[in-house]
Chain A
Amino acid sequence: MRKKIILILILIFSIGLNPIEATPQKQRVYDYANLLESSEIEELEAMAEKYSIKRETDFVILTTDNTNGKDVVKYMEDFYDNMALGYNKPHGNTAIITIDMQHREVYLAGFYKAETYLSDYRLDLIRDKITPYLSNGDYYKAFSKFIKLGYKYMGMEPNVDPDNILFNLWFQIVVSLVIAGIIVGAMAYNSGGRVTVSQGTYMDFSNSKVINRRDNYLRTSVTKTRKPSNNNKSSGGGFGGGGGGGTTSGGHSHSGSRGSF
């Protein structure tokens, strides 16, 4: 009973100490192409806010079905300049995904902190992973994956490859289990005593030797194969694309990855 009272007291206190601030909600999802339902927008807003705070970078989603004749990159750059996006300041840290439904193109960009942590290469990786969802019309899934992957990659130092197998959770789990299995298996196998005799135990070394040996050269055969050419760097998989970053009219440089879906 006493414990319960203490618990309730603590609850009341903690609420009293952290009054829920009525900060005006910052908009991060701009769904001009109406790809999402209102409940999905709400969820994405909540998710974007949560991860934006953790990485001090706004994750922004922008969709359009009319770019007014602009290229998707230019459209995004102008949007960034006009809306003064940014977590820490106007025109600040932002990772933005732009969907152009008119030309069925997708463009990922990172500004400031996101430009460092989400390099062209990393944005390519993210785009490769979400393009299948875009092609299927599963926009909600694609956007939430964009936020989560962006968050994850921004937790890694800029110079490491996020696809390194050592960072893969499943790889880590499987390796741990396999190593434990091998060690415990060996322990169980050896619990009944090990064989401690080997080749040398009973051998009489003074009389055991090679009496006669012969190594005769017979013939030589040579085969040749053409050197594989090194200039087939693939990018964007089967969806085409690529294209790096740039600088907005307002003078803000950004990284980028472009593709169609």
Chain B
Amino acid sequence: MVIHYKCPNCGGDMAYDTESGKLYCDSCGREDNIENFPEENIQAYFSEEDGKEYHCKNCGAVIMTDKDTTATTCSFCGAGVVLGDRLSGKMAPAKVIPFKISKEEAMKAFKSWARNGLLTPKGFMTADRIKNITGIYVPFWLYDLNSRVRVNATCTKVRTYTRGDYIYTETRYYDVYRDINLDYVKLPVDASEKMNDELMDKLEPYNYRELKEFKTPYLAGYIAEKYNYDEKELLPRAKSKIEQYIHSYIDSTITGYSTVRYNSKNIDTRKVNAYYTLLPVWMVYYDYDRKEHTFAMNGQTGKVVGTPPISYGKVAAWFSGIAGGVFVFLKIIALAMGGGLW
């Protein structure tokens, strides 16, 4: 099933516009609210060979997709199409955060980010070598988790005092117990096989106030993927993401002691809810020095992550600059203390 948004005015192709948050027609400028877009203009086509091949109903060309694609643009006529059958049933997303940063803004932001990189080589991003920039709705699971934590620890308070010729060390032992309830809401875990987990983790946080009920028109004009891992498969990863948080919360509840030794930490984390959510990401592929560099930008907040090339010249300059500065600073301190220059 291919879904295609036709302009009720002129019949042109409509796509989601980041600025207005509406469907926008490029040829006549008409804007339509996503909530009340006329049903008759959503053209859904069912083809017999569904699941194998999709045809663009605008121009008839075969739409190039791989098995995970749920939305794309026709590579011949450029019309944004949504593959509806891959977004229904179990595959229906619950929520979406629409793109807020347009392609042009994303390009500009990438370039200035690379230029401002303190260690990136000078020529990086000045030449127009951006190979490819793609707006992708990446599938995530947003987990609501509840953790019940029961800890038992032996703690001590140490006091030293002097009486006569002796120094006394007094150690008081305590049996400490904490029963803690922890709720974490909407913890995102990337559910796409293709996306690098570390990269996706660094894109956080998203602003959840703009989290919307999922509607297919948001995808018009972008690429979207479906999840490769369901909420059960990714639960362990969600748990590992909050593990460190839980430990530091436990530490924060036991205060006032000199030493803390944990005898047992019983952490029971359960899933309360999991929402299949599409989050907006700009992916940029850039060739530099015969190597491809991949960057990702949070399509809502504009945060950029990725590994830029590092200029050894700049590293050396910063290193010697800081070392020299600190050295001079120490010399000035030594001189101020009356220590002489050498």
Contacts and interface: CB of A to CB of B under 8 A. Distances in A.
Interface in A156-213: 156-157, 159-160, 162, 164, 166-167, 169, 172-173, 175-177, 179-181, 183-184, 187-188, 191-199, 201-204, 207-213
Nearest to B148: A211
Main secondary structure of the interface of A (DSSP, over half): mixed
A177 to B, nearest CB: 5
Interface stretch (B2-10, B225-233, B319-327): B319-327
Contacts of A155: 340-342
Interface stretch (B21-29, B36-44, B64-72, B115-123): B115-123
A224 B320 CA distance: 51
A15 interface: no
A219 interface: yes
Interface stretch (B211-219, B263-271, B303-311): B303-311
Main secondary structure of the interface of B (DSSP, over half): mixed
B88 interface: no
Contacts of A159: 338
Contacts of A207: 181, 183
B326 A220 contact: no
A215 B176 contact: yes
A188 B308 CA distance: 10
Interface in A108-155: 152, 155
B173 A203 contact: no
Contact of B180 (A172, A194, A209): A209
Given A180-B319, A220-B170, A199 B245 contact: yes
A222 B170 contact: yes
Interface residues of B, number: 67
B182 interface: yes
A204 B184 contact: yes
B284 to A, nearest CB: 13
Of the listed residues B155, B173, B248, the one surrounded by the most CB atoms of chain A closer than 10 A to its CB is: B173
B173 A220 contact: yes
Contact of A181 (B117, B119, B181, B319): B319
A209 B170 CA distance: 33
Contacts of B185: 202-204
Contacts of A211: 179-181
Interface string B230-264: 00000000000010110011000100000000000
A214 interface: yes
Interface in B131-178: 154-155, 162, 165-178
Interface string B40-74: 00000000000000000000000000000000000
B205 A201 contact: yes
A190 to B, nearest CB: 9
A201 B201 CA distance: 13
Nearest to A224: B166
Nearest to A155: B340
A218 B339 contact: no
Given A159-B338, A164-B337, A213-B253, 8 more contacts: A166-B333, A177-B323, A180-B326, A187-B118, A193-B303, A216-B175, A217-B172, A219-B172
Interface of A: 152, 155-157, 159-160, 162, 164, 166-167, 169, 172-173, 175-177, 179-181, 183-184, 187-188, 191-199, 201-204, 207-227
